[in-house]
């Protein structure tokens, strides 16, 4: 029998919550609970390209092309929409909080005027240029190879720790400096200029400026890639999160997309709130978070819950299953899934139980190949959760 859930809870994968909703629609519920509580907000909204962004999911005959979002607002509508979101963000930030708004040449200059009005010109921190070398090469103008990240604080109490993103100077000799070893065995370099001697040590830190050319755009075969066209590298978000928050702080991303902000926050021991209107984004974040927290290299990670909230999905779905028992253990084999009359290869499957409208996931498979078997819970009525390639999902009790 099919059941309808509006929440999904995992024992690990957080500490964070994902909301399947439009950014502007999520603001009221976020403000009701988190007003003046968020330490850092990163926004990577549509750039007003006039395009429709799609993603190919699956291979061969099972491949499907899914629309992720439409980026076709006229300028006036876009600015009114962005203004509403930025006003909500200002209310969500705590006094030490800050916001990073990631755009490109199309709207960054007009977004800055909005930020000046909402946050105050005196609270402007930086216009960060993220320069990269990917993509084609224009000939009718200079190739456009950078994005703009506008960095504003909420107040003068802002938390900003540039030391957290410094990198060791290293052994490279610069500007004809003389290499030396001091009495403590530290390797350093010195140069005399205008009557003064300047000394730098190999292990001293170099801090990034407002031009970030050391973080590359993701390449096609990069291990981080999820298939989401506008995905940003974790290194970019790690720098932002490390400099403008501390462990345990709350980080918000209203355009979650591929889930990079949540992934970087988890690796740096921050809490996160993520919002996106695409069911595909929900599926990507789920898979990414469950995969990250199962990595053996994440040695200092402590299990925290991952909560996912969404409207009840009414997409028609039929499944073919077989139950099996061995001793006291039971399992279910998922053989086939049909969404909206079309047989689909699931991109996720899980078993657990339902409490009210919340599905408690106990056993998950983030890359199922049919037929796939999953254990069933012993002390609850078992429920099977199946997610299709477009992010559509269904829950079934297994009596």
239-265: pLDDT as tens digits: 999 999 999 999 999 999 999 999 999
Q: Which domains does the chain have, with CATH numbers?
A: 22-163+211-276 (3.40.50.150), 167-205 (no CATH), 317-397 (2.60.40)
CB 223: neighbour CB atoms within 10 A?
6
Per-residue pLDDT, 192? 83
Phi, psi of 75 (to 5 degrees): -60, -45
User: What is the DSSP code (8-state) at residue 257?
Assistant: T
Question: How high does pLDDT run on average in the chain?
Answer: 93
For 131-194, give the DSSP string.
Answer: E---S---SSS----EEEEEEEESSTT----GGGG-EE--S---TTPEEEE-TTS-EEEEEEET
The string of pLDDT tens digits covering residues 69-96 is: 999 999 999 999 999 999 999 999 999 9
Residues 6+ positions from 302 with CB-CB distance below 8 Å? none
* pLDDT value at 293 more than 80: no
Q: How confident is the model at residue 56 (pLDDT cuts 50, 70, 90)?
A: confident
Q: How confident is the model at residue 274 (pLDDT cuts 50, 70, 90)?
A: very high
For 187-227, give the DSSP string.
Answer: EEEEEEETTEEEEEETTSEE---SEE-SSPPPPTT-TT--S
Instruction: Give CA torsion, residues 262, 267, 268, 274, to 10 deg.
Output: 10
Average pLDDT over residues 142-158: 96
Residue 176 falls in which region: left (phi positive, over 0), alpha (psi -120 to 50) or beta: left
Give the Å distances, CA to CA, from 120 to 79, 125, 356: 17, 11, 45
The string of pLDDT tens digits covering residues 306-339 is: 999 999 999 999 999 999 998 889 999 999 999 9
Per-residue pLDDT, 65? 87
């Amino acid at each position: 029998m099919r059941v309808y859930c509006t929440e999904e809870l995992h024992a690990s994968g957080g500490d964070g919550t994902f909301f399947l909703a439009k950014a502007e629609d999520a603001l009221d519920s976020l403000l009701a609970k988190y007003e003046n509580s968020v330490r850092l907000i990163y926004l990577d909204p549509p750039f007003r390209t006039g395009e429709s962004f799609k993603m190919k999911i699956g291979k061969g005959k099972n491949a499907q092309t899914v629309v992720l979002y439409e980026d076709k607002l006229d300028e006036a509508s876009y600015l009114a929409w962005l203004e509403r979101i930025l006003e909500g963000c200002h209310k969500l930030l705590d006094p030490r909080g800050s916001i990073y708004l990631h755009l490109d040449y199309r709207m960054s200059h007009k977004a800055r005027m909005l930020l000046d009005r909402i946050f105050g010109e005196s609270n402007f921190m930086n216009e960060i240029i993220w320069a990269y070398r990917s993509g084609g090469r224009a000939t009718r103008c200079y190739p456009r190879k950078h994005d703009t990240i506008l960095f504003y604080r909420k107040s003068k109490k802002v938390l900003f720790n540039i030391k957290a993103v410094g990198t060791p100077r290293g052994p490279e000799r610069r500007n004809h400096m003389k290499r030396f070893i001091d009495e403590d065995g530290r390797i350093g370099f010195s140069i005399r200029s205008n009557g003064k001697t300047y000394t730098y040590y190999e292990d001293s830190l170099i801090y990034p400026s407002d031009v970030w050319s050391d973080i590359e755009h993701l390449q096609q075969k990069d291990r981080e890639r999820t298939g989401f066209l506008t995905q940003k590298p974790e290194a970019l978000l790690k720098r932002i999160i490390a400099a403008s928050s501390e462990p345990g702080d709350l980080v918000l991303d209203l355009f979650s997309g591929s889930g990079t902000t949540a992934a970087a926050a988890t690796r740096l021991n921050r809490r996160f709130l993520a919002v996106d209107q695409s069911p595909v984004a929900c599926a990507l974040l789920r898979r990414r978070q469950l995969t990250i927290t199962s990595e053996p290299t994440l040695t200092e990670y402590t299990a925290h819950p991952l909560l996912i909230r969404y409207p009840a999905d009414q997409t028609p779905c039929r499944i073919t299953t077989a139950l099996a028992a061995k001793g006291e253990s039971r399992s279910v084999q998922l053989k086939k899934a049909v969404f909206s009359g079309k047989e689909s290869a699931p991109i996720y499957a899980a078993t657990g139980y339902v409490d009210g409208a919340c599905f408690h996931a106990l056993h998950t498979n983030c890359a199922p190949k049919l037929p796939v078997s999953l254990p069933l819970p012993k002390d609850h009525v078992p429920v099977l959760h199946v997610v299709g390639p477009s992010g559509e999902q269904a829950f079934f009790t297994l009596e």
